[in-house]
Structure 1
Amino acid sequence: MLTEEEIEQYFREGYLLKRNLVPQSVVESVRAIGETTKTADGGGWTPKVFDRENPKSEPELHAILRHPSVVTAAGQLLGTPPLIYYGMLAIVPARGGNGLPWHQDNMYSHIYGGALNIFVALSEITPEMANLWVAPGSHKLGTQASKRNETTAKGHREALVEPENSLLLPTLSPGDTCIFTRDTLHRSLTNTTDQNRYAYAAQFCATNARYTETGKRPPLCVDPLG
């Protein structure tokens, strides 16, 4: 699924933009579920999270976690059969809804040994729709200091220092993806349009992944083929 040049970019820049990775039929099915989720104009970022303790629940909502193209891409980058670590439908409401500030996924739970995030556009996402920003090369700096956000995304992590370089992704079409490491700084700003922004975050870890705090394997990781 991924070319050698794409894999090289992922390791060099910490992210990879891969167009049309997820088929439209899957995208439309997941988005349809998201469109039934209640949101308020200008409200906060709204998630629906994969239940790792009950991995077979809501299979339609989390179908992306098990789609062959997604699993194959994750396996190519991790170098091992990927395990599902986390999955989340993420909605940024229309007319002023906020995304998340600059952060790294490892600011939440620090994993060593291989893990990544595949951000999937479920609708067209323009720059005005809280599209994703990344900081190329930031993964080389390791996990940065962070604090708890108390304003636009209360309870979420926020980098103490914003990256010196940043890149706003171009408009994404449904099924387009951005794949990035757990140490790649990323953010999304405000959705100023009259349409909700729908996306799905599919997180995978390698079979040798461990929490650096305890040295233990992440619990409840799920084999996407099981």
Structure 2
Amino acid sequence: MVRKTKEEAIETRNQLLDAAEAVFYDKGYSQTTLMDIAKHVGMTRGAIYWHFKNKVDIFEAMVDRVRLPLDRLAEECADENEPDPLGKLREFSIALLRDITTDGRKNRVMSILFHKFEQNGQAEELEKRQVMSFIECTNRIERSLINAINKGQLPQDLDVYQAAIIKHAYFAGLLNNWLFLPNHFDLNSMIEPLVDNYMFLLHNSPELRIKQ
């Protein structure tokens, strides 16, 4: 058997991830089998096992292909060496929404996470990872807001915990609703005003102040 080059192995892996993305999007997580993925790309199930341990592994790799670059961008907002963390948070928030409304891959993967992944106890590892990802995202927002306070960009008495929860819920809700009914409203045309509404809230809402 001819051994694949590194480039060929990477290409095969990416083809399998593309196939997994398409099948998960079409059938949902619980109804998809490894054979479904293999058939979609014209390979054997053995080709999947060469690159991935099981369905959980290929699902995580599919999500990471989209999530990790976004996580790296989001982490810049919390970097203490960032001179403009609030501006970076606004920039990231706009880029996140813009990417998901215009990039087919990000759109499909987020649709799978929001609407095609059934949390019914059948994929405990993935469900735990989703919980951890949710907590990490909220913590990252909180650190970003603290960073902005320390740089004098937000009020010192901002209730950071509440503000982080609101941001997570606000943007997750926007994406959930738009991905569910993309023709119901034109999210792409509303992105900057929606992000700036949240920024206005941070500066001006009396309900986001720590009560003395």
TM range (shorter): under 0.3
Greater fraction helix: 2
User: What is the TM-score normalised by the length of structure 2?
Assistant: 0.27
Q: Which one has the bigger strand percentage?
A: 1
TM-score normalised according to structure 1 size:
0.25
Larger gyration radius, structure 1 or structure 2 = 2
Higher relative CO (Cα under 8 Å, sequence separation at least 6) belongs to 1
